[in-house]
Amino acid sequence: MVKFRLERVSAPLWFRPLIPLIALLVTFLLTTLLVLWAGADPLKVYYYFLIAPLSSRVALIEVLVKSTPLLLTGASVAFAFSAGYWNIGAEGQLYAGAMAGAWLGMFLGGVSPVAGIPLMMAGGFLAGAVWAFGPAILKTRLNVDEVVTTLLLNSVILFLVSYLLNGPWRSPVSMWPQSPEIAQGAHYFRLLPRARLHFGFVVGLAVIVIEWFVLQHTPLGLRMRAVGLGKKAAQFAGLNVNRTMLVAALISGGIAGLAGVGEVAGIHFHLIESISDGLGYSGIIIATLGGLHPFGVGLAAFFIGLIDTGAQSLSRALGVPVYLGTVVQAILLLVTLSLFVLQNYRLRRA
């Protein structure tokens, strides 16, 4: 009887950049089975997923609009993961930033956008960092698993938002569970006429570039990458591992908070309970698919925005459930993680 065993090996350097491409190919092969099961033509499904959103100006702009918060949540998760801090709380930190933006926006009447927008961004960044502070302290001081604490806090802030929107912040005009409208001086300006693409897209691109510079060309980035590769080795080399992880966690929370500000100041102009709809969790997929590299995160955010936009037109055109796009993202995350783990193993005859 032939027996096999897993053997640990060192994957070649050229293989790692190919992992996202292989993951995409495997994901679409697996998705084909689901599409056939739903009774649809896979070629038409992939056309609406990948080609149709790029075939018109309106659809392409919508892809960029959907990519805007994903740039920030993906950058947030990638920044924390690079330092070995597993931040699963970008969803809650986004809501914290959105709450701060909505609250500040109510008091900026008569303030010019030149002053109002930076003030909202600073408040949102600070709120996201504050919401990330508790799990970070528990991790660095008591070694409490940050995956659990950051994930649980996502639910806590959802209850807090629900209380505010159904209580003191309920709109006095419509009586809907939404906060009052923010002042005009707090609105993000539009990048294109008669389009939803707003200043938040520029913020997202700027964060990607700044994050790349920090990780690659600053002492903080060097410390973060060293801690991310091996905490014990970094500590043996004299690095303050806990401080590095704490700084990474707070900056990561702040970046996610900026995503929340963008949704308030650029899209809705008030706070609602469904302002995120899983954007923070999508950031985990984007960071993983991008290989934790800021520019890879940018490409992955555009791809997920493409899938989200295509899923809506796909549902209208072929009658396929709109959540097929979410299924594709989930399969993509599992396949990418599996490939990253298995790249260092090979199957060998015993």
Per-residue pLDDT tens over the stretch 185-206: 899 999 998 899 999 999 999 9
Distance, in Å, from the CA atom of 120 to the CA atom of 124, rounded to the nearest integer, reads 6
- Please give the model's pTM, rounded to 2 decimal places: 0.93
347 CB-contact burial (10 Å; exposed 0-12 / middle 13-18 / buried 19+)? exposed
Residue bearing the bigger pLDDT, 279 or 318: 279
Region 314-343: what's the mean pLDDT? Answer: 83
Q: Which two tokens stand for residue 267?
A: 């899209």
Region 138-144: what's the mean pLDDT? Answer: 95
Calculate Rg over the CA atoms of the chain.
Answer: 21
Residue 349 pLDDT class (50, 70, 90 cuts)? confident
Residue-range domain boundaries for the chain: 39-349
> In the CATH hierarchy, which fold is given to the domain comprising 39-349?
ABC transporter involved in vitamin B12 uptake, BtuC (1.10.3470)
CA 277 remoteness from chain centre: 12
CB half-sphere exposure, 219, CA atoms < 13 A: 2
User: What integer pLDDT is reported at residue 1 of this predicted model?
Assistant: 65
Distance, in Å, from the CA atom of 134 to the CA atom of 127, rounded to the nearest integer, reads 12
